[in-house]
Amino acid sequence: MPDYQAPLRDLRFVMDELLDFPGHYSRLPGGDDATPDVVGAILEEGARFSREVLLPLNQSGDREGCLLEGGEVKAPRGFKEAYRQYVEGGWPGLAAEPEFGGQGLPHSLGMALSEMTCATNLAWGMYPGLSHGAADALRHHGSEEQKAIYLTKLVEGVWTGTMCLTEPHCGTDLGLIKTRAVPAEDGGYDISGTKIFISAGEHDLADNIVHLVLAKLPDAPEGSKGISLFVVPKYLPDENGNPGARNGVSCGSLEHKMGIHGNATCVMNFDGARGYLVGKPHKGLSCMFTMMNVARIGVGIQGLGLMEASFQNSLAYARDRLQMRALSGAQAPEKAADPIIVHPDVRRMLLTQKAFAEGGRMLVMYTAQLVDTVEQGQDPAQRERAETLLGLLTPIVKAFLTEVGFEATNEGVQVFGGHGFIQEWGMEQLVRDARITRLYEGTTGIQALDLLGRKVLMSQGETLKVFTKEIHQFCKAEADNPALQEFVAPLAKLNAEWGELTMGVGMKAMNDREEVGAASVDYLMYSGYVTLAYLFARAAKQAQQALGGDEDAFYRAKLDTARFFYQRLLPRTRAHAEMIKAGGASLMAISAEDFGLGFEI
Amino acid sequence: MPDYQAPLRDLRFVMDELLDFPGHYSRLPGGDDATPDVVGAILEEGARFSREVLLPLNQSGDREGCLLEGGEVKAPRGFKEAYRQYVEGGWPGLAAEPEFGGQGLPHSLGMALSEMTCATNLAWGMYPGLSHGAADALRHHGSEEQKAIYLTKLVEGVWTGTMCLTEPHCGTDLGLIKTRAVPAEDGGYDISGTKIFISAGEHDLADNIVHLVLAKLPDAPEGSKGISLFVVPKYLPDENGNPGARNGVSCGSLEHKMGIHGNATCVMNFDGARGYLVGKPHKGLSCMFTMMNVARIGVGIQGLGLMEASFQNSLAYARDRLQMRALSGAQAPEKAADPIIVHPDVRRMLLTQKAFAEGGRMLVMYTAQLVDTVEQGQDPAQRERAETLLGLLTPIVKAFLTEVGFEATNEGVQVFGGHGFIQEWGMEQLVRDARITRLYEGTTGIQALDLLGRKVLMSQGETLKVFTKEIHQFCKAEADNPALQEFVAPLAKLNAEWGELTMGVGMKAMNDREEVGAASVDYLMYSGYVTLAYLFARAAKQAQQALGGDEDAFYRAKLDTARFFYQRLLPRTRAHAEMIKAGGASLMAISAEDFGLGFEI
């Protein structure tokens, strides 16, 4: 069975040494509670919970899957009990406002913990995970009454939430949804329609399920401007706020999926279910984006957690498995063969996992700080800047970390050789679970359009400049630091090129809008590599300053990892840059019909 | 359910127009039988068989898997009946010698058909597929008696074969095997040991199973020089050559795998099983390579088949699925939204699949011609040249086509969005089935060492030069063809760089052997891209010459695909070249212990 240790030492490096979280927390209102001691204790307890409670249920949950019987869904054995412990431990409300029963700790702390949940049991983690988006939507857009009824329950975790967006004929293009909301006499609405791919749509972990549902009012304008958001509980709350009458929403079937078998992915049927409008009529899409942005970062963290889990287990295997001698001569002559970690190509795979996981952790925590500042920052200018950067980085966190997360979990399988393909080892489950992260909450292609089209080009590049300027300033400040030149010199070059590539696409897009889509995914991947290069350069600086103390080995390993990233992963930008510059002509040339001429008769 | 049409038009382009198979066949002994009419009829019948018999069993076979009961393995429903039809149709012996009951058609024709089997039902295809390697080993190394007893049965397909190499503690490093062969008085051997990952090790499709088993004799030298090959039948043939007494070999358990569920992957226990030496004592490894090389090309074809299957189905989906409007304005204003094939990023994914499949098909058939020449060529110089090229290209076919095959099947899932993750659509099965191809018959890392270490550097680059010279001559011949410059100019540059990169690694490796392993996988991928670039340049030439006739659309699509490959895939060589040049220092710096400092306490 796979093992897992939360990477607490590396997290401490990122939070305390690299990004000055202690200072950051001290500047947040109520941040006094988030002292280094408290933060450390919570992270350690989270590490224990994920390892001791969640990890043992990961493989069994994958094997068992969920069961739909008589309209009720049973999660795999042990999931309900683990959730009970999670609620009793006060985890659901860790970062929620005290007025709704939360503990008021910073969001970033919840994000750090989330990596551990994703690493040990992604399918389980999605039951409480979906509640965050639902709670955020209600917090930002719900009426006082809705908050009173639903938010406290979600924060306590006694109820869970869902996001009901997708329908059989539309996912990305929500303007096409057919679910209807008809006003009732009492101010409520009757919701009818079918939603698919509803994660945690029905289960036995909580007393009630709060569905946040997109639907159209009778007088709705066409397309995406006519979508409204509704809260639709599984059980209608009675006057005491407890689950009362069963509502007209039910699980029609469970999807058979490639992975995340332990999570119930439901077809949800709304048959005149009672719902209540959240926010203004026809403004559901912007409310939904409140949920989506939180969820997108959450999915990026899933990619991070899965690659860390894969890395740790393939490292253990590579140290243990004896096979062949090193090309340069036996390294463990006393053994029948050398452990495979002596082989450079095995090291390349392990270091790819390690560098992406550590780089991803820096990116997630850098982004987490922005989330704190957006949510609670006291300085309006800083808040605005954080909002801009958060908008820029959200699609990168989501898509880049899931793309490289899938690659890294596959490297984990590859290190195991044929054993990686065998279920008992647990490595292939990480791949199957990781596969969904490139798809849900907006595919990589959709994230890339959001990044290049909406965030970068629609702001005339101003959004990007906020970030490239920060990188530029770092490079300038370190320009005379000879020990950092191996990082700073290439970073400065890439940072300049990032702007040039953006200009290039922008110019082409003025003549042909399709050039945006033609460049978008390569642009996103390029952006991800440069972003990680920036963070690794800062990490290298930090590590160099810390050399000479008690933990030399840790800091040397950090420098080596940064070096590996620069020498053996960052060159991928050369391919992406070329492909961006190549433009879209070769994509658009063939007609839809002619695509199939090789096989269609 | 996924559909599939064998790409007969494209295959005709590759075989008849690009590689002059008619001329090639006419020069082979007995090749008169392989007239264009016969070849065409066989390919059409193979297409029908794969589509009508194998495809309908692919998803059900994946869901059902195999069942082990009382030592007997049942393949999924329908597999046995399909195999019966396959045998009755005379398919197993298509390319085998008439003296053993075969039809004596060229090997290359069997390889073309194999793509269709892999595309429609990989798990089923592995039952007859493994027989080829076993038959080849016996044909090349077996005694006349062994051939008489076993080969005819394998050729007829009434018996199937296996390759029993891997043991729990060794796969790559076969020098470590523990299976023992003790000489018996009658000239036979008693084989004892445990083999794992034995594909088609036990099943109910054939009357008998012929295991080719690696084991060590009592006086065996240490390591890989002490391995011998044995033939171990499930049932010992009686005096009439029919299955007689049950031999001491049995299936201990079936592996639970990520994919290819329909194929029985067995733990095989040999408990004093009667076996017979094949070839000379202690020379089993070279006999095994006879099987392995055939099998490796076969696995490359698996990658090809799976990506073609994925391409065809994602193309159908992309034409059908309506979602969003084209960025440049509605393309299908009469519909609720545009079909997603209008979006450039969807086209990028489809073209990636298409270009890799069509490029892979050219590479496979180019290699298939070499196989024919090696096996049956009449001119010794041509045969030697073909052997050299075949040695060079085998690891590229195996590893490059499975790496990009995995990528392409994943693009297929991605085109489907969330639906790609749902089993019913069949796209995720192609990914799971494709995942094994990067592992078995030698991982990508092992293929890469074979290519760079054994084939290229051990020959002082001479092996590579045979191929780069052919490319060079093509570039020279087309240097003045303005219509081809977009292909020939970059190809000539890459071809020169290929040699330079090889020299560079070779120089470094003289000081440090680990540099070979550090560069190997990037070198293999680089080699794969340049090889496909060469074939696409030739295809472009062919297509340009054919323009102006009845099938203009086909040839224009071929040119467009070649252009896409050059503009949007070939730039990946820039990354691989940089990473090769970066060398291995950053891979070797961290000690095995320090790898885990981020999480180990």
The pLDDT of residue B329 is above 90:
yes
Q: Is A423 on the interface with B (CB under 8 A)?
A: yes
| pLDDT tens digits, one per residue of A556-595 | 999 999 999 999 999 999 999 999 999 999 999 999 999 9
Residues belonging to chain A: 601
What's the average model confidence in pLDDT over A70-86?
97
Instruction: Tell which residue, A453, A110, A127, A433, has the closest CA to residue A297.
Output: A110
Residue pairs between chains A and B whose CB atoms are closer than 8 Å = 326
Q: Which of residues 432-451 of B touch A (CB under 8 A)?
A: 432, 435-436, 438-440, 443-445, 448-449
pLDDT confidence bin for A96, thresholds 50/70/90: very high
Q: Are B167 and A418 in contact (CB under 8 A)?
A: no
Residue-level pLDDT at A47: 98
A489 and chain B in contact, CB less than 8 A: no
CB-neighbour burial class of residue A507 (10 A; exposed 0-12, middle 13-18, buried 19+): exposed
* Interface check A339 vs B, CB under 8 A: yes
CA distance B546 to B564: 19
Token pair in block for residue B101: 């009951």
Contact indicator for A357, A404 with CB cutoff of 8 Å:
no
Q: How far is B582 from chain A (nearest CA, A)?
A: 6
Q: Decide if B351 and A567 are in contact by the 8 Å CB cutoff.
A: no
Antiparallel, parallel or unpaired: β B159-164 and B208-215: parallel
DSSP A78: T
Positive or negative: CA dihedral A505, A507, A510, A512: negative
Q: Of A169, A337, A590, which is closest to B173 when you measure between CB atoms?
A: A337
**B337 contacts A173? CB cut-off 8 A:** yes
| Candidate CATH numbers 1.10.10.350, 3.40.50.720, 1.10.540.10, 2.40.50.140; the one for domain B8-136 | 1.10.540.10
Give the pairing of strands A72-74 and A67-69: antiparallel
**Taking residues B265-275, what's their average pLDDT?**
98
* Interval B109-140: pLDDT, tens: 999 999 999 999 999 999 999 998 899 999 99
A342-386 pLDDT tens trace: 999 999 999 999 999 999 999 999 999 999 999 999 999 999 999
Q: What percent of chain B has pLDDT over 90?
A: 96
Smallest CA-to-CA distance from B228 within B187, B174, B184 is with B174
Residue B579 clears pLDDT 80, i.e. is over it? yes
Alpha-carbon gap, residue A92 to A72, rounded angstroms: 24
Q: How confident is the model at residue A274 (pLDDT cuts 50, 70, 90)?
A: very high
Q: How far is B304 from chain A (nearest CA, A)?
A: 14
Catalytic member of A308, A358, A428, A441: A441
Place of tokens 């990354």: B575
Residue B350 has pLDDT above 80, yes or no: yes
Confidence bin at A291 (pLDDT 50/70/90): confident
**Rg of chain A over CA atoms, in angstroms?**
24
Structure confidence at residue B558 (pLDDT): 98
Whether B8-136 and B144-149+157-286 share one fold: the answer is no
| Res. A531: pLDDT tops 80 | yes
- Considering only the C-alpha atoms of chain B, give the largest distance between any 2 of them, rounded to a whole number of Å: 83
Contact call for residues B104 and B34 (beta carbons, < 8 A): no
Q: What is the percent of chain B with per-residue pLDDT over 70, rounded to a whole number?
A: 100
Tokens of B157: 């397909």
Least Cα separation, residue B585 to chain A (angstroms): 9
Q: Does A255 touch chain B (CB under 8 A)?
A: yes
Structure tokens that stand for A252 in this block: 């029609």
Tell me how far apart the 2 most distant CA atoms of chain A are, in Å. 83
Give burial (CB, 10 Å; 0-12/13-18/19+) of A68: middle
Q: Tell me the CA end-to-end span of chain A in Å, nearest whole number.
A: 50
CA distance readout (Å), B586 to A375, A483, A557, B579, B591: 40, 16, 11, 11, 11
Given this model, what pLDDT does residue A19 score? 98
- Rounded Cα distance between B312 and B403, Å, is 19
Separation of alpha carbons B248 and A352, rounded Å: 45
Q: Are the beta carbons of B421 and A444 separated by less than 8 Å?
A: no
Give the model's pLDDT for residue A287. 86
pLDDT tens per residue, range B381-419? 999 999 999 999 999 999 999 999 999 999 999 999 999
3-state secondary structure of A257: strand
Nearest residue of B to residue A561 by CA position? B586
CATH architecture of B144-149+157-286: Beta Barrel (2.40)
Question: Which pLDDT value is given to residue A309?
Answer: 98
pLDDT band at residue B293 using 50, 70 and 90 as cut-offs: confident
What pLDDT score was predicted for residue B32? 83
Contacts with B444 from chain A: Cβ below 8 Å: 414
Nearest to A213 by CA among A143, A279, A284, A160: A284
- Contact between B257 and A421 using a beta-carbon 8 Å cutoff: yes
Chain A environment of B337 (Cβ under 8 Å): 173, 176
| pLDDT at A273 > cutoff 90 | yes
DSSP letter string over B54-77? IGGGHHHHHHH--EEETTEEEPPT
Complex confidence, ipTM = 0.98
Q: How would you label A429-468 residue by residue, b for 16+ Cβ within 10 Å and e otherwise?
A: bbbbbbbbbbbbbbbbbbbbbbbbbebbbeeeeebbbbbb
Q: What is the DSSP letter of A75?
A: P
Residue B290 scores a pLDDT above 80: no
Q: Which residues of B carry out catalysis?
A: 441
Average pLDDT, chain B: 97
What's the pLDDT band for B164 if we cut at 50, 70, 90? very high
**Rounded distance between C-alpha atoms, residue B7 and residue B305, angstroms:** 10
Extended beta strands in A370-515, E state: none
B315 touches chain A (CB under 8 A): yes
Please state the domain extents for chain A: 289-318+355-405+435-585
> Which residues make beta-bridge pairs with B422?
A257
- The residues in B 347-366 lying below 8 A from A, measured between CB atoms, are 347-351, 354, 358
What Cα–Cα distance (Å) separates residue A444 from each residue in A111, A300, A358, B17?
Answer: 21, 11, 21, 39
> What are the distances in angstroms from CA B553 to CA A55, A589, B14, B353, B558?
55, 12, 16, 19, 9
- CA–CA separation, A259 vs A309, rounded Å? 16
Q: Which pLDDT does position A32 carry in this prediction?
A: 83
Which of A318, A513, A563 has the CB atom closest to B327's CB atom? A513
Tell me how far apart the alpha carbons of residues B407 and B289 are, in angstroms, rounded to a whole number: 28
pLDDT band at A294 (very low <50, low <70, confident <90, very high): confident
Q: What percent of chain A has pLDDT over 70?
A: 100
Q: What residue type is assigned to position A487 of the chain?
A: F
Q: Which token pair is B181?
A: 């062969």
Convert the pLDDT of each residue in A224-257 to its tens digit: 899 999 999 999 999 999 999 999 999 999 999 9
CA distance A515 to A251: 42
% of chain A exceeding 90 in pLDDT: 96
